[in-house]
């Protein structure tokens, strides 16, 4: 066995043979485990954020679809003073906007306010709500000219 002397500052250390001690191996495993645990916790957060983002995108598309339908009606917009008025809401909806009982988490409502903010303008507000981890809503508002 070859022994050599390693000089570090005023101290002299005897060099060891090849290999690691059990303590070094255990600490290495501990540090690697902590790193993997940190990445796995981060992965769960990223997956949750991706799910929330997907739901927001679907809700925005559902709101925009209804907004376009209402704007296309032009001067014959329905009378919807509140979101709970009959004919002013639909749901539960699936991500494609089809009424469904299973897998449908979205509810859509709209309010049509004539002559707001000016005579001849109609304020249209479409709200889509759902619950994933928390209750959430997306609201789109526009003005339609009623000639």
DSSP 52-90: HHHHHHHHHHHHHHHHHHHHHHGGG----SSTTSTTSEE
Kindly report the average pLDDT of the chain as a whole number.
Answer: 84
pLDDT digits (tens, 9 = 90+) for 10-42: 555 555 567 889 999 999 999 999 988 888 888
3-state secondary structure labels for all residues of 106-141: EEEEEEEEECCCCCCEEEEEEEEEEECCCEEEEEEE
pLDDT digits (tens, 9 = 90+) for 37-67: 888 888 888 899 999 999 999 999 999 999 9
Spans of all domains in the chain:
19-145
In this structure, the chain runs to a length of: 147
């Amino acid at each position: 066995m070859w022994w050599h002397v390693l000089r570090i500052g005023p101290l002299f250390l005897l060099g060891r043979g090849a290999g690691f001690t059990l303590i070094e191996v255990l600490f290495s495993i501990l540090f690697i485990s902590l790193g993997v645990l940190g990445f796995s916790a981060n992965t769960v957060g990223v997956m949750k954020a991706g799910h929330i983002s997907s739901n927001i995108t679907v809700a925005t598309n559902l709101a925009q679809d209804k907004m376009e339908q209402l704007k296309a009606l032009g001067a014959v917009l329905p009378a919807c003073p509140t979101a709970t008025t009959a004919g002013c809401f639909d749901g539960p909806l699936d991500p494609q906007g089809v009424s469904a009982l299973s897998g449908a988490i979205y509810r859509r409502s709209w309010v049509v306010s004539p002559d707001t903010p000016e005579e001849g303008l109609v304020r249209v507000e479409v709200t889509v709500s759902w619950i994933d981890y928390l209750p959430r809503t997306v609201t789109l508002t526009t003005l339609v000219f009623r000639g």
